[in-house]
Amino acid sequence: MLNLFDPYELSGLSLPNRMVMSPMTRTRATEDDVATDLLREYYVQRASAGLIITECTEVSDQAHGIMRAPGIQRPDQIAAWRGVTEGVHKAGGRIFLQIWHCGRVAHPEMRGGLSPVGPSPIAATGDFFLPRGRVDFPIPRQLAIDELPAIVATFAQATRNAREAGFDGVELHGANGYLQDQFLEDESNQRTDSYGGSIANRARLMLETVEAMITAWSPSRVGVRLSPSSLLYGMHDSNALETFGYVVRKLDVMRIAYLHFCEPNAKDLKTGKIQIQHVAKTFRPMTSLPIITGTGFDRNTANAVLSAGYADLVSFGVPYIANPDLVERFRSDAPLNKPDPSTFYGEGPKGYTDYPALSPTTAA
Ligand SMILES: Cc1cc2nc3c(=O)[nH]c(=O)nc-3n(C[C@H](O)[C@H](O)[C@H](O)COP(=O)(O)O)c2cc1C
C-alpha cells in the first residue's frame, strides 16, 4: 500500500516523500514585495517536505493584490528569492514558486490607485482587508483583448526569473478565484469575444499562460493549481465538470509536471452548491499527469487517497504553518502543534518561524 513516506519521481525531480507544503500567503515580505531573511528561514525550516510550493508571488505591478506578498519581476526580488532557494536546497529540500495575478481580487488603495482588472466588470464577493479595516471589492476594469498578450508575457518572464532565482519549477496559481480562474469560470466571465462564452474561449487565457510558461522553461518544470469546487470570492461555474475536464485534458496533452487540485472545504460543501465533491477522484481518469491533491487532509486520510490511487502526492496547508517538521511528526505519530490563525497573515516571527520542532535536529 502506498503511503506518504514513499519516494516519488516528479517529472525528473526525486522527492523523498509524498508530502507537499501547500502554497500559503503569509504577508512577511517587505512593503515593496521582496522576500526577507525571515521568509528564507521559514521555508528552510520546512525543507523536509517532499516538495515546497511557495506562497503566491506576483508577476507584475498589475498582479499585486496582497500587502507584503512577494514578487518576482524585479532584480532585487530575484536576488532575494535566490537566497531562499539556496537555503532550501542546502537543507536538502526542493521548491517551486507559485506565480500569480490577483485579477479582480484587489483594491486600488493598496495599488497606488491602480484599479483591479478582470474579465468582466463584476466584483468579487467577500471581505478585503486594508489597514483601515474591511472593505468591499470594487468593480474591476474589464481587460481589453489587446492587453492579454502582455499579461501572458509577464508569466513567461516570471518563469524565466524563477529559473534564474534557482527554483526547481513554477506553479501557475490557476485556482481560488484569481485571474486565470476568473476567465475560466462563467460566473465571473461574461465576455463575448474569443476569451468568453464557450469553454474553449474561457480556458484560453489559462492555456496560453501555461504554454508561455513551458516555452519559457520546460513542461516538466511547470505545475498548475486548479480549484474546481471553490466558491471563494464569488467563484462558480455552471458546469464545473465539463469546464475543468476540458482544461485537465488540454494540460494532459501539454505534459506539464503536475496538476495540483484543491478539494472542496467543509464550509463550501455545506452550501450544497458544490458540483464536484471528490476532485482528484473525478479527474484522475481524464489524465495521466501526476496529481497532487489537498485541503483538509491528515496523515490517515492522505494515506487513504494515495492508496486508492486518486493522487500521487498530498499537499498540507495549515498543518505546515504550525509544524515545520510535519514529515517527522507524521512518521513518528507525534502530536501536532496547534496553529494560531491570528498570526497567519501577521508580521514578524510570531506564528511564523517560532513553532517548535520535535527536536532541534528535526528542523533545519
Ligand atoms: C494563510 C493561508 C494562506 C493561503 N495562501 C494561498 C496561496 O498563496 N496560494 C494558494 O494556492 N493557496 C493558498 N492557501 C490555500 C492553501 O494552499 C490550502 O489549499 C488550504 O489551506 C487547504 O489546505 P489545508 O486544509 O491543508 O490547510 C492559503 C491558505 C492559508 C490558510
Give the three cell numbers for residue 249. 485534458
**Measuring CA to CA, which residue among 201, 186, 273, 189 is closest to residue 238?**
186
Distance 322 CA to ligand 1 centre (A): 13
State the number of CA atoms in the 13 A half-sphere of 107 facing the CB. 17
* pLDDT score at 146: 98
Q: Is 225 in the pocket of ligand 1 (CB under 6 A)?
A: yes
Q: Is 22 in the pocket of ligand 1 (CB under 6 A)?
A: yes
Q: What is the mean pLDDT of the chain?
A: 96
Phi, psi of 160 (to 5 degrees): -65, -40
Phi, psi of 120 (to 5 degrees): -145, 160
Q: Across the strands, what pairs with 170?
A: 97, 222
Q: Is 153 in the pocket of ligand 1 (CB under 6 A)?
A: no
Give the three cell numbers for residue 6. 514513499
Distance 24 CA to ligand 1 centre (A): 5
Question: Taking CA 335 as the corner, what is the angle to CA 330 and CA 336, rounded to the nearest 5 degrees?
Answer: 80
Place 361 in a pLDDT band, splitting at 50, 70 and 90.
low
Q: Is 264 in the pocket of ligand 1 (CB under 6 A)?
A: no
pTM over 0.95: yes
Q: Which class for 61: exposed (0-12), middle (13-18), buried (19 or more C-beta within 10 A)?
A: middle
Alpha-carbon gap, residue 316 to 21, rounded angstroms: 5
Give the residue carrying C-alpha cell 490557476: 174
Q: Choose the catalytic residue: 8, 43, 178, 195.
A: 178
Q: Is 96 in the pocket of ligand 1 (CB under 6 A)?
A: no
Q: Across the strands, what pairs with 15?
A: 8
Q: Is 8 a catalytic residue?
A: no
Distance 317 CA to ligand 1 centre (A): 5
**Measuring CA to CA, which residue among 71, 178, 56, 187 is closest to residue 116?**
178
* pLDDT score at 342: 97
Give the pLDDT confidence of 157-195 residue by residue, as tens digits: 999 999 999 999 999 999 999 999 999 999 999 999 999
Q: Where are the beta strands (DSSP E) in 151-277?
A: 169-173, 222-226, 258-262
Distance 23 CA to ligand 1 centre (A): 6
Please tell me the residue having the least CA distance from ligand 1 atom 21: 317
Please tell me the residue having the least CA distance from ligand 1 atom 19: 295
Percent of the chain whose predicted confidence (pLDDT) is above 90: 95
* pLDDT score at 363: 47
| 219 touches 253 (CB < 8 A) | no
Distance 108 CA to ligand 1 centre (A): 24
Does pLDDT of 362 surpass 70? no
Give the residue carrying C-alpha cell 502582455: 150
Place 131 in a pLDDT band, splitting at 50, 70 and 90.
confident
Q: Is 324 in the pocket of ligand 1 (CB under 6 A)?
A: no
Does pLDDT of 121 surpass 90? yes
Give the three cell numbers for residue 252. 494532459
Give the pLDDT confidence of 48-98 residue by residue, as tens digits: 999 999 999 999 999 999 999 999 999 999 999 999 999 999 999 999 999
Give the pLDDT confidence of 281-292 residue by residue, as tens digits: 999 999 999 999
Mutation test of ligand 1: which of 24, 178, 261 has the most ligand atoms closer than 8 Å to its C-beta? 24
Buried b / exposed e along 336-353 (16+ C-beta atoms within 10 A): ebebeeebbbeeeeebbb
Phi, psi of 17 (to 5 degrees): -155, 175
Give the pLDDT confidence of 243-279 residue by residue, as tens digits: 999 999 999 999 999 999 999 999 999 999 999 999 9
Distance 118 CA to ligand 1 centre (A): 22
Q: Is 98 in the pocket of ligand 1 (CB under 6 A)?
A: yes
* pLDDT score at 360: 60
Please tell me the residue having the least CA distance from ligand 1 atom 18: 317
* pLDDT score at 127: 85
Give the three cell numbers for residue 340. 494560531
Alpha-carbon gap, residue 217 to 215, rounded angstroms: 5
Alpha-carbon gap, residue 215 to 90, rounded angstroms: 28
